[in-house]
């Protein structure tokens, strides 16, 4: 039996010299040898960026968790919705193109910097394309109010459209194929059988590229084309400029020697059936040379590579574009978001061009002439189970007993003893996976205190048995609404909405919020496994497959595991997860809780640690590091945030972040404590890694301080424990006060953990 001290020493050894990682993945195949070797135009250096050489990667961290079928206790069921794809495989449910899989499939997909959709509007048949600018944003409901509640980008502006004569009268079918987490391809087929138009969609693509096969290309614009001119270009390509009536200039590149002409202000047409490539892109001023160097090549798909350094301190990830066609540079034009640019390796920074286009809600994007986007991040490897803060950084092995005096330890012991007398099973065995998970995790945090801080084995063992008993209800799938394995989309869903209301349990049955729901179970399981092992138990061995199934549902890292889509929730391009599953949305995917997003990754990181799975632990660390960068640009608005429009900066948090809109609201109400608090919950050791002391104090001073005395329910406890991230003594005073009221605790929160956390990071 291992003592907790030896366990901590083992963890510290892993941090300082990790065990061998899996073998490196094979290098990405080189592009076609037909690509010319001509170098792209020189790019200017990016100012004020530190040197960031590519970190040596020890090995891929994208190894499969398992290749086994989901556990047999999950009944197999077909989903009420069927994906209109090209085969029976694990189709992603929470990705940028989900609108194109649902209902009449005409709502947009956001590839950034473009949005695209299947247009069935009268006389506009094909793939519509829009690119909006910051100046077009609409603020409301009262644009004169500062801060405003929301802003959105205008939808449905057909800047350009890729279609064909043969599609007229909507005589066209669309088949999504090769649906993956970073890309999908749309095959448009003329119903008369004459030919097809295939359009690969990849995140960040600089051109919208269509491969025509024996149909007549038509490029349209509802904005209107003021003039069209043919321009000189590289051998093998024809180049045209389309100057729209709104002053925006689009470039068109074609192969195959086709002849295009301006038929009328809305139609730019080819003179006959065509086999070859047509590309369109919005071109910023003085950027033709960069566009020219990339024209003729396109990304047929995109894939992910990820690894970490030998010492585990740095993670590297790449979005690799699988290039087809031929360009003079041998590369494509890809746009990077601000959080990419800030983390670029030196090699990737050298690919940047002056071309910039606005994204909808994530700031200006920078065009790169490249085959891949490579980013490097510092990993939170030392953040473990015990209290941690940026200003009190220490790993579990250094924590010891914490800075607790005897009085505080006695208070924690008495509060823990009282809270562990509560009905754990009654608070956790509910009809909702979300609330059940929160209930279980509440008691897991209490046991961390009793075992690792108070060293009270008697109290810990009493609580541990009750918590294991409650967790077993779910591990054996005997909860009120059991999970089933959906054989259609491939995933674990609550039975609650499969045959009933799709919105049951927050839409879990339609793949909403799985990272929120299952993250609580995974963190709880990591705690149980850790403590049970210290007593010589076999709980980990007995429950690992169940918990791994939950992790695989949300964050399967490998196509070698065919039973779940790769990274259902986490978007490696946008830098965070999307909560919305199989629901249509005119503003795209969304997420209203940044904190429950990184709580999933934190739980997965710890589960990987206790399981001895360094690749899983590293994935959790890397996802958290990426979220730290992206969320502090797009969701959390500190004084120095360079991305958020000034009209909403004072809201301090995004509220609900959509792909096309930012709305300072929640789905359950507009109270300020809801909107701010849902981005705090739960407060754990990883919270301080994301939420800096400076940001938390700024949010407190500008919003929370004015409402805290009016809040008299569980949101008060959330707001006050969040205060510990910049003022732990004030937070501790609140939770340790004899006048503390239990009604101030959220159902997933304990006073024991609040005292331990605030006290553990007090300076």
What positions carry a catalytic annotation? 513, 592, 596
**In terms of Cα–Cα distance, which of 118, 749, 14 is closest to 419?**
749
What distance in Å separates the CA atoms of residue 105 and residue 95, rounded to the nearest whole number? 14
Q: How far apart are CA 319 and CA 574, in angstroms?
A: 11
Q: How far is CA 121 from CA 84, 111, 161, in A?
A: 21, 21, 11
CB 258, CB 274: distance < 8 Å: yes
Both tokens of 266, joined, read 């809305």
Burial group, residue 650, by CB count within 10 angstroms (0-12, 13-18, 19+): middle
Q: Which two tokens stand for residue 701?
A: 């001073």
Q: Rounded distance, CA 436 to CA 427, Å?
A: 7
Is the CB of residue 352 less than 8 Å from the CB of residue 46? yes
Residue with tokens 């279980």: 440
Three-state secondary structure of 404-437: CCHHHHHHHHHHHHHHCCCCHHHHHCCCCHHHHH
Long-range Cβ pairs for the range 628-631 (8 Å, 24+): 628/377, 628/380, 628/689, 628/690, 629/339, 629/342, 629/343, 629/377, 629/575, 630/337, 630/339, 630/574, 630/575, 630/576, 631/575, 631/576, 631/594, 631/597, 631/598, 631/690
Q: In whole angstroms, give the CA distance from residue 12 to residue 681.
A: 28
Q: How many CB atoms lie within 10 A of CB 197?
A: 26
What is the distance between the alpha carbons of residues 118 and 125, in angstroms, rounded to a whole number?
Answer: 8
* CB half-sphere exposure, 492, CA atoms < 13 A: 28
**DSSP structure string for 317-349:** EEEEEEEEE--SSSSEEEEE-HHHHTTB-HHHH
Pairing of strands 160-164, 124-130: antiparallel
Contacts of 621 (CB under 8 A, 6+ apart): 308, 312, 315, 379, 380, 381, 605
In this structure, are residues 19 and 614 in contact, taking their beta carbons and an 8 Å threshold?
A: yes
The C-alpha R_g of the chain, in whole angstroms, comes to: 27
- DSSP-derived secondary structure letter, 39: P
CB hemisphere CA count around 304 (13 angstroms): 25
Residue pair 344/374 in contact (Cβ under 8 Å)? The answer is yes
The whole-angstrom separation of Cα 132 and Cα 135 is 8
Element spanning 16, H or E: helix 4-16
Question: In this structure, what token pair is assigned to residue 537?
Answer: 């138990």
Instruction: Please name which of 104, 279, 303 lies closest in space to residue 199, comparing C-alpha atoms.
Output: 279
268 touches 218 (CB < 8 A)? yes
Question: Do 302 and 375 meet the contact criterion of CB atoms below 8 Å apart?
Answer: no
Q: Is 457 exposed, middle or buried (0-12, 13-18, 19+ CB in 10 A)?
A: middle
- Other C-beta atoms lying within 10 Å of the C-beta of residue 407: 9
């Amino acid at each position: 039996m291992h003592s907790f001290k030896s366990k901590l020493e083992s963890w510290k050894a892993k941090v300082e010299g990790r065990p061998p990682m899996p073998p490196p993945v094979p290098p990405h195949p080189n592009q076609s040898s037909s690509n010319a070797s001509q170098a792209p135009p020189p790019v200017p250096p990016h100012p004020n960026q530190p040197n960031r050489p590519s970190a040596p990667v020890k090995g891929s961290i994208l190894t499969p968790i398992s290749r086994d079928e989901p556990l047999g206790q999950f009944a197999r069921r077909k989903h009420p919705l069927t994906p209109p794809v090209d085969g029976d495989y694990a189709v992603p449910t929470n990705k940028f193109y989900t609108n194109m899989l649902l209902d009449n499939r005409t709502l947009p997909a956001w590839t950034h910097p473009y949005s695209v959709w299947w247009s069935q509007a009268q006389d506009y048949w094909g793939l519509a394309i829009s690119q909006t600018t910051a100046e077009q944003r609409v603020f409301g409901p009262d644009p004169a109010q500062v801060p405003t509640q929301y802003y959105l980008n205008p939808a449905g502006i057909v800047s350009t459209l890729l279609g064909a004569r043969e599609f007229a009268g909507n005589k066209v079918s669309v088949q999504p194929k090769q649906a993956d987490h970073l890309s999908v391809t749309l095959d448009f087929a003329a119903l008369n059988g004459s030919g097809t138009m295939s359009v690969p969609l990849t995140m960040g693509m600089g051109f919208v590229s269509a491969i025509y096969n024996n149909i007549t290309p038509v490029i349209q614009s509802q904005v209107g084309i003021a003039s069209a001119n043919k321009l000189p270009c590289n051998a093998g390509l024809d180049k045209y400029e389309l100057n729209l009536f709104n002053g925006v200039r689009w470039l068109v590149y074609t192969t195959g020697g086709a002849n295009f002409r301006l038929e009328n202000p809305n139609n730019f047409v080819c003179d006959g059936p065509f086999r070859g490539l047509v590309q369109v892109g919005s071109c910023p001023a003085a950027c033709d040379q960069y566009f020219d160097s990339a024209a003729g090549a396109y990304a047929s798909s995109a894939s992910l590579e990820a690894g970490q350094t030998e010492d585990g301190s740095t993670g590297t990830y790449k979005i690799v574009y699988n290039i087809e066609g031929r360009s003079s540079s041998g590369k494509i034009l890809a746009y990077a978001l601000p959080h990419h640019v800030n983390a670029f390796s030196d090699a990737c920074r050298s690919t940047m061009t002056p071309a910039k286009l606005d994204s909808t809600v994530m700031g200006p994007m920078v065009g790169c002439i490249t085959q891949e986007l490579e980013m490097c991040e510092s990993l939170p490897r030392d953040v473990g189970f015990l209290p941690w803060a940026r200003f009190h950084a220490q790993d579990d092995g250094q924590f010891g007993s914490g800075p607790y005096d005897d009085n505080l330890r006695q208070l924690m012991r008495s509060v823990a003893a009282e809270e562990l007398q509560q009905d754990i099973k009654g608070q956790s065995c509910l009809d909702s996976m979300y609330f059940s998970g929160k209930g279980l995790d509440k008691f897991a945090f209490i046991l961390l205190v009793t075992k690792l801080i108070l060293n009270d084995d008697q109290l810990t063992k009493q609580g541990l048995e009750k918590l294991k008993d409650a967790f077993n209800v779910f591990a054996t799938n005997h909860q009120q609404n059991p999970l089933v394995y959906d054989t259609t989309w491939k995933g674990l869903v609550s039975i609650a909405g499969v045959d009933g209301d799709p919105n049951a349990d927050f839409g879990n049955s339609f793949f909403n919020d799985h990272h929120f729901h299952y993250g609580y179970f995974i963190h709880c399981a990591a705690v149980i496994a850790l403590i049970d092992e210290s007593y010589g138990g076999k709980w980990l061995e007995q429950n690992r497959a169940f918990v791994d199934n939950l992790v695989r549902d949300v964050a399967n890292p490998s196509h070698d595991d065919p039973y779940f889509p790769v990274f259902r929730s986490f978007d490696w391009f946008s830098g965070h997860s999307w909560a919305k599953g199989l629901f249509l949305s005119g503003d795209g995917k969304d997420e209203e809780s940044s904190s429950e997003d990184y709580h999933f990754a934190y739980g997965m990181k710890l589960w990987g640690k206790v399981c001895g799975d360094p690749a899983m632990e590293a994935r959790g660390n890397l996802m958290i590091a990426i979220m730290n960068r992206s969320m502090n640009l797009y969701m959390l608005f500190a004084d120095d945030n360079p991305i958020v429009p000034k009209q909403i900066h004072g809201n301090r948090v995004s509220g609900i972040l959509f792909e096309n809109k930012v709305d300072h609201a929640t789905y359950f109400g507009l109270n300020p404590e809801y909107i701010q608090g849902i981005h705090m919950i739960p407060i754990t050791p990883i919270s301080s890694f994301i939420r800096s002391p400076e940001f938390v104090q700024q949010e407190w001073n500008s919003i929370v301080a004015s409402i805290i005395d009016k809040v008299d329910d569980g949101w008060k406890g959330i707001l006050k424990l969040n205060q510990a991230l910049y003022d732990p003594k004030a937070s501790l005073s609140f939770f340790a006060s004899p006048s503390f009221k239990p009604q101030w605790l959220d159902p997933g929160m304990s006073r024991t953990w609040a005292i331990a956390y605030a006290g553990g990071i007090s300076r």
